[in-house]
Amino acid sequence: MPVSTFPTAHTATAAAVPTIVVVGHGMVGQRFLEALADRGLTASAGTARVVVLCEEPRPAYDRVQLTSYFSGKTPEDLSLVEQGFMEQHGFELRIGDPAESLDREARTVTARSGETFRYDTLVLATGSYPFVPPVPGKDTEGCFVYRTIEDLLAIEEYAKTATTGAVVGGGLLGLEAAGALKGLGLDTHVVEFAPRLMPVQVDEGGGAALLRTIENMGLTVHTGVGTQEVTAGDDGSVNGMSLSDGSSLATDLVVFSAGVRPRDQLARDCGLAVGQRGGIIVDEECRTSDPAVFAIGECALASDGRVYGLVAPGYEMAQTAAEVIAGKEASFTGADLSTKLKLLGVDVASFGDAHGTSEGCLDVVYADSRSGVYKKLVIGQDGTLLGGVLVGDADQYGTLRPMTGTVLPVAPEQLVLPAGAGGPVTLGPSSLPDEAVICSCHNVTKGAICEHTTLPEVKKCTKAGTGCGSCVKVIGQLLPQSQDKGLCGCFSYNRSELYEIVRALEITSYAELLDSHGREEARGGEGCEVCKPTVGSIIASLAPTVGASGYVLDGEQAALQDTNDHFLANLQRNGSYSIVPRIPGGEITPEKLIVIGEVARDFGLYTKITGGQRIDLFGARVDQLPPIWARLVDAGFESGHAYGKSLRTVKSCVGQTWCRYGVQDSVKMAIDLELRYRGLRSPHKLKSAVSGCARECAEARGKDFGIIATAGGWNLYVGGNGGATPRHADLLAQDMSDAELVRLIDRFLMFYIRTADRLERTSTWLDRIEGGLEHVRDVVVHDSLGLCDELERLMADHVRGYRDEWAETINDPERLRRFVTFVNAPDAPDPSVKFVPERDQVKPDLDILAGPVLAIRTLEGTAS
């Protein structure tokens, strides 16, 4: 039975609500507050008074993502506290007012402001402080630590006048700090006392692989040497370091990252038990030696004798303490120290007994210094997997870690060898237990799925995959694999292979491609709804280069397009269409706005501002599309390609011209880019945005290619995505001129179009292709494949060949013929397309379509 120092929610009375004082509003402190709120222990609920003493000048933020400040995240972006959270729950947050002393007898905490708070329960969440080795000169101007936003602001400011930086410590955080210094343009050194980098996480071989990769990035690494002194120049600021091997290193700036120590001083001062090497001793309930005081997060020495320097165990402690304080049972007995990180773009993972300390264990190691890949599995005498280290390629982490403690189903060497050398055997979902739930919409287990052999069968018999559709990929992996990576039943090639075939052989007809390169059984047939639009898109992307018509509805190409492209508009649920004229960069004259308004009014269209800075007109019948477009084209509008797998919009913020913060003309750049890439057909839709400064009002990092202005030019970010699986774009290159930017985007887009799969956005493509962002950077920035000239030429061809599809259509009676509802009654409007009023506009009349409504087949492909 847990001893509660605290009445449970329903027994508390408003008159005597107990007070919880939280010292430290860091990551774990905030999680603790959320856990209290979840359990109804709040002032608003009338069950507790909660006071939070926060030392830093801002509420809790994501320290784990601290470094992303240097890639454009603002301190506000990093905040962990949802707007209104404190007010909603009545938590009293005292920013910039740290606790200075505790009186356990009186149960009071005194803050720096002088105010004293009485507590019933005290929770210490004070985190750690960076350890600075006691070397002479450690306090010289130009020496920093790397823990808080304030530290980063100070480093950033100081780096403006520095050219060289050194990081003391080659562990996890040291490498992260080194990456940041490099990003600030400093010539960067890492000094590590141990003989290898990341001594805690990886073993010698892993450290060596990491070293090579990091050196290849242009950082200088000194291992096996200690820092003896920080030296100062005449002006009193840092000018170098002397090292234990007698050498010296000239540097303008030093960042100490030699580990962290628990902040247990408050606890020590008031006589709470602390560990020999620091850390406030707590039991499984996270209670200290005083039952009214809890300690959680990095300041605590957990009951398993460990101080955890990771956030996940801290979060578990926060949950445990909150649960116990609420009068329930909970315990924290220790956590897994497995880690998977992307350090400076290098995958590093370690799990279980990574160092092979168990008796009689064996290592199975694969190392390739050229590619910087190192993989080690630690295997027990009886064949059980005990742990491992993966550097450079950590894809198997997800499946290997859960298998720790079990005997591997295949020979371990098969798991570490690369393809072509007897491996790799990837342990996908096949290694999950039968009881694992695969489809959470319908609660279907792996066992139930594996009774079937095809996806349609699984869907029919178990319903798995018929809800949100997100499990379909895993189901596919569980079903018997045909080893067939082909696009569909008609082609054994994938999209990028077909792209190469079309390009090399200059094939301009789908039928020709199907009959010459299709699967034997598909040749001469009709093809299918998967490969037809895919090939249609490939031919359209390459049209000027292979000599096909650039007009997607010419000849046979017309038969390949999805219905949206076929009518150059977006099909709606009642069979009507929507129209989205292009509004480059979101900039539009009043005259043009008026035309859109008039057209919408005259044709009775529903009008809506889209999320892409333009205007969508809904509810046009097929036969109304040409007259509507005749008016729009006349007023200077072009197709917005809302229907195509092609460039959608390049959003802009108002930028330098008007905005007090702007540093470049983001509107002009957005318009230029939109006009350059309009009409470009691609594997999936392409979106872009340009922001005039790092405040990022255009949300460029949510786009396939996003541009953010800097004082020195433009930064290009790639691989961003909103939608179902959001992803922030990664920085590809910095501070480019207009011309450099455009050239790099040309290359990037053409490389994507060439190598991506069907319906693969840049985000998934970037995560899938071997080598990821680094590889793409090698190809498009450093021209490692010698492709750049060709990529640029392909784009130049596209830009030269662009014509507005709608202008071409309305000027050609032959092409206009398809825009009728009925082939035998061209003047008859579609009787099933009807509307009813709603909020002063119209909406589809679905009653006339009514009939049995049946389940949808799949999510994929439902979009234009």
Ligand X SMILES: Cc1cc2nc3c(=O)[nH]c(=O)nc-3n(C[C@H](O)[C@H](O)[C@H](O)COP(=O)(O)OP(=O)(O)OC[C@H]3O[C@@H](n4cnc5c(N)ncnc54)[C@H](O)[C@@H]3O)c2cc1C
Footprint on this chain of ligand SRM (rule: CB under 6 A): 570, 572, 578, 580, 608, 610-612, 614, 616, 642, 648-649, 685, 687, 721-724, 761, 863-864
Round to whole Å and give the CA distance between 425 and 431. 11
Task: Kindly write out the interface string for residues 40-59 of this chain, putting x where it contacts ligand FES by CB under 6 A and - elsewhere.
Answer: --------------------
- Residue with smaller CB distance to another protein, 83 or 824: 824
Q: CB under 8 Å to 46, separation ≥6 — which residues?
A: 12, 14, 17
Q: Least distance to ligand X from the beta carbon of 65, Å?
A: 8
Q: Least distance to ligand SRM from the beta carbon of 489, Å?
A: 22
- Count CA atoms within 13 Å of residue 362 on its CB side: 9
Residue 11 phi, psi (nearest 5): -90, -15
Check if the beta carbon of residue 199 is closer than 8 Å to that of residue 350. Answer: no
The entry of ligand FES, another protein, ligand X, none that residue 861 binds, CB within 5 to 8 Å by partner kind: another protein
Side chain identity, residue 330? A
- Residue with smaller CB distance to another protein, 106 or 856: 856
Q: Least distance to ligand SRM from the beta carbon of 641, Å?
A: 8
Near ligand FES by CB under 6 A, which window of 27-35, 101-109, 435-443, 587-595? 435-443
Q: Least distance to ligand FES from the beta carbon of 465, Å?
A: 5
* 441 touches ligand FES (CB under 6 A): yes
Strand partners, 609: 615
Q: Least distance to ligand X from the beta carbon of 809, Å?
A: 54
Round to whole Å and give the CA distance between 215 and 818. 61
Residue carrying structure tokens 């913060």: 661
Q: Least distance to ligand X from the beta carbon of 93, Å?
A: 11
Residue 260 phi, psi (nearest 5): -125, 160
The entry of ligand X, ligand FES, ligand SRM, none that residue 437 binds, CB within 5 to 8 Å by partner kind: none
* 464 touches ligand FES (CB under 6 A): yes
Exposed / middle / buried, residue 307 (Cβ in 10 Å: 0-12, 13-18, 19+): buried
- Residue with smaller CB distance to another protein, 91 or 819: 819
- Residue with smaller CB distance to ligand X, 176 or 704: 176
Q: Which is nearest to 374 in space by CA: 196, 180, 182, 174?
A: 196
- Residue with smaller CB distance to ligand FES, 361 or 441: 441
- Residue with smaller CB distance to ligand SRM, 107 or 678: 678
- Residue with smaller CB distance to ligand X, 29 or 465: 29
Longest dimension (CA), the chain: 94
Interaction site with another protein (CB under 8 A)? 456, 460, 489-490, 511, 521-522, 524-530, 532-533, 556, 558-560, 562-564, 566-567, 571, 573-575, 817, 821-825, 828, 830-832, 846, 849-858, 861-862
Take residue 856 and report the two structure tokens written for it: 């949808």
Q: Which is nearest to 833 in space by CA: 629, 563, 574, 642?
A: 574
- Residue with smaller CB distance to ligand SRM, 570 or 821: 570
Q: Least distance to ligand FES from the beta carbon of 722, Å?
A: 20
Q: CB under 8 Å to 690, separation ≥6 — which residues?
A: 585, 650, 651, 652, 653, 655, 666, 667, 669, 670, 673, 698, 700, 706, 707, 708, 709
Q: Which residues of 190-213 are buried (b: 16+ CB within 10 A; e: fewer)?
A: bbbbeebbbbebbbebbbbbbbbb
DSSP 770: T
- Residue with smaller CB distance to ligand SRM, 146 or 717: 717
The entry of ligand FES, ligand SF4, ligand X, none that residue 468 binds, CB within 5 to 8 Å by partner kind: ligand FES
Q: Which is nearest to 638 in space by CA: 581, 680, 596, 677?
A: 581
- Residue with smaller CB distance to ligand SF4, 424 or 692: 692
Round to whole Å and give the CA distance between 93 and 654. 36
What DSSP assignment string belongs to 631-659?
HHHHTT--B--TTSSBEEEEEE---TTT-
Round to whole Å and give the CA distance between 336 and 351. 8
Side chain identity, residue 582? R
Near ligand FES by CB under 6 A, which window of 170-178, 425-433, 438-446, 762-770? 438-446
Round to whole Å and give the CA distance between 684 and 677. 14
Check if the beta carbon of residue 820 is closer than 8 Å to that of residue 826. Answer: yes
- Residue with smaller CB distance to another protein, 657 or 858: 858
The entry of ligand SRM, another protein, ligand X, none that residue 335 binds, CB within 5 to 8 Å by partner kind: none
- Residue with smaller CB distance to ligand FES, 439 or 842: 439
The entry of ligand SF4, ligand FES, another protein, none that residue 862 binds, CB within 5 to 8 Å by partner kind: another protein
Of the residues 98, 133, 469, 525, which one makes contact with ligand FES according to CB under 6 A: 469
Q: Least distance to ligand FES from the beta carbon of 467, Å?
A: 3
Q: Least distance to another protein from the beta carbon of 575, Å?
A: 4
* 810 touches ligand FES (CB under 6 A): no
Round to whole Å and give the CA distance between 350 and 342. 12
CA dihedral of residues 232, 233, 238, 240 (deg, nearest 10): -80
Q: Least distance to another protein from the beta carbon of 482, Å?
A: 15
Take residue 1 and report the two structure tokens written for it: 């039975």
Q: Which is nearest to 68 in space by CA: 729, 705, 692?
A: 729
Near ligand FES by CB under 6 A, which window of 463-471, 673-681, 797-805, 823-831? 463-471
Interaction site with ligand SF4 (CB under 6 A)? 653-655, 659, 661-662, 666, 691-693, 695-697
Coil, strand or helix at 25: coil
Q: Least distance to ligand SRM from the beta carbon of 640, Å?
A: 6
Coil, strand or helix at 166: strand
Contacts with ligand FES by CB under 6 A lie at 439-441, 464-471
